[in-house]
Amino acid sequence: MLLDKQVSRVRWMSSHLTVASLCSAALLVAMGIAGGLVYGLATGDLSHEFWHIFSMSVSKIPPVWILLGVTSLLYGLWPRITALGWVVWLSFSILELAWEAQIIDWSLMRVSPFSYAHYTINISNLPLLPLFWLLGLSAILTGLGLFGFRNRDVLTKA
């Protein structure tokens, strides 16, 4: 029980971030399993297509965790602009749509963390180093958010 006794701010926020990171990863894994099974069975090449789709889905975990880190940073340091996390997500989505419509070049698309695990990159050629950098950056952003939240006043309504 988390709220059974007194809990530090960092522990309270860490519990929420743990749930968010594990659930987002679990959703991507489940999506990869389901997508891989369906596509593999539909094409008749389950052994190859399953791992291809599954790997592509799992490779999206670091970019998703970047959004978690950005939102954590905003919530921990500047709680009044936490909604800006949605603006960051929207910006990445708009970049993707603009690239799909060939309005912007791939070099501008690289601003988005999702470009490092993009579907246009063959999974067998996907470089892993940028994904590890994204994991490290998300850990730093999350850590800074926790550090900022440690000193914040949290109002509760009784």
- Supply the DSSP string of 13-48, one letter for each residue: HHHHHHHHHHHHHHHHHHHHHHHHHHHHHHHT-HHH
Query: CA-based angle 106:112:113, to the nearest 5?
Result: 120
pLDDT for 3 equals 60
pLDDT at 56: 94
Tell me what pLDDT residue 79 has.
86
Domain coverage including residue 31: 9-150
**pLDDT at residue 122, as a whole number:** 85
* 128 DSSP 8-state letter: S
Query: Is residue 84, in this structure, part of any structural domain at all?
Result: yes
Tell me the pTM. Answer: 0.87
Please report whether residue 120 resides in a domain: yes
- Total number of domains constituting the chain: 1
Question: Is 2 a residue whose pLDDT tops 60?
Answer: no
Average pLDDT over residues 57-67: 96
Q: Taking the CB of residue 151, how many other CB atoms lie within 10 A of it?
A: 9
